[in-house]
Amino acid sequence: MKLARYGAPGAERPALVDNHGVLRDLSGVVSDIDGSLLASAEFDRLRSLDASTLPAAPVGSRIGPCIAGVGKFICVGLNYADHAKETGKEPPAEPILFMKATSAIIGPNDDVEIPKGSEKADWEVELGIVIGRRAKYVSEAKALDHVAGYCLVNDVSERAFQSERGGQWTKGKSHDTFGPIGPWLVSRDEIADPQNLDLWLDVDGVRRQTGNTKTMIFGVGFLVHYISQFMTLEPGDIIATGTPPGVGLGHKPPVFLRAGQTMRLGITGLGEQQQHTITARD
């Protein structure tokens, strides 16, 4: 099952993606795609809907963030062995966690701002875990029972803000528009093995990142288990699980984003995104 949200920013409507890739309006069935839906029996009942009975969304509609009202946007740093190597750092002994402001969340094809004073804006294609059931002190064996599904994330970053302005990663990760998610929330049952998904990202048509989730240091189940030891995960929370090699910082010499460029990225089974970069607005 693939769920999406479409319409103008702040006025998105819930939708289901049918077998032909057509967006079908769900607003007559559910109020939104959010944590309260994911935690309810209604989420599972959506699978039994006859999509052909639902109205089609207008062709060309903007696709919004696939989850509304995200409470926590948790990110994992240096979680791919090959990415850690390209940064010259040792693979971490435990997951490196940081938060991304939820105000950074945008739709998968919305414009990404290059912040004022930015010198090192960068890209990161990532697998996003969407929590469906409250998770506190869960075992690794039961961790996936708390996952509603997965989504594509571009963890856009500003490396100078991240690492050269006092060592606070969050300030380099949280600029408005630095969190494109979607196009879809894909239910967990549709992803047979989250540890064998291809990821890729292009900038201006040049392939910059190619990877597979099998090189993650800490897998999906372990991350949900581990994070739940430190904070309660609530339905609708998102965990961005790290990025494969090929980020701008890892190139020799480094290559960073500027206004007027295009990022295109995707993950097997989770769809694609495309963003144009623009100068930050006031």
pLDDT of 68 > 80? The answer is: yes
Mean pLDDT of the residues in the chain: 96
**Interatomic CA distance for residues 68 and 22, integer angstroms:** 21
Q: Which two tokens stand for residue 214?
A: 């099998």
Q: Exposed e or buried b for every residue in 190-210, given b needs 16+ CB within 10 A?
A: ebeebeebebbbbbeeeebbe
pLDDT of 178 > 90? The answer is: yes
Mean pLDDT, residues 271-277 taken together: 98
- Following DSSP, what letter does each residue of 190-259 receive, concatenated? G-S-TTS-EEEEEETTEEEEEEEGGGBSS-HHHHHHHHTTTS-B-TT-EEE----S--GGGSSS---B-T
pLDDT of 29 > 80? The answer is: yes
Q: ω into residue 183 within 30 of 0, thus cis?
A: yes
Q: Which two tokens stand for residue 137?
A: 């002190």
Mean pLDDT, residues 217-225 taken together: 98
The pLDDT of residue 85: 75
CB 214 within 8 A of CB 79: no
Model pTM? 0.96
> Nearest Cα to 113, choosing from 175, 164, 65, 159?
175
Q: Domains plus CATH for the chain?
A: 2-53 (no CATH), 73-279 (3.90.850.10)
The pLDDT of residue 275: 98
Q: How confident is the model at residue 82 (pLDDT cuts 50, 70, 90)?
A: confident
The pLDDT of residue 91: 86
Mean pLDDT, residues 214-241 taken together: 98
* Element of type H or E holding 154: strand 147-154
CB 248 within 8 A of CB 184: no
Q: How confident is the model at residue 165 (pLDDT cuts 50, 70, 90)?
A: confident
The pLDDT of residue 104: 98
**Interatomic CA distance for residues 15 and 4, integer angstroms:** 5
DSSP state of 181: B
Q: pLDDT tens across 85-139, in order?
A: 777 778 899 999 999 999 999 999 999 999 999 999 999 999 999 999 999 999 9
Please count the helices (runs of H) and the strands (runs of E) in the chain. 6, 18
The β-bridge relationship of strands 125-131 and 147-154 is antiparallel
Q: Which two tokens stand for residue 113?
A: 């701002």
Q: Which amino acid is at 238?
A: I
Mean pLDDT, residues 186-199 taken together: 98
The pLDDT of residue 83: 76
pLDDT of 278 > 90? The answer is: yes
> Nearest Cα to 150, choosing from 66, 230, 79, 88?
66
The pLDDT of residue 236: 98
Q: Partners of 277 in the beta sheet? A: 112
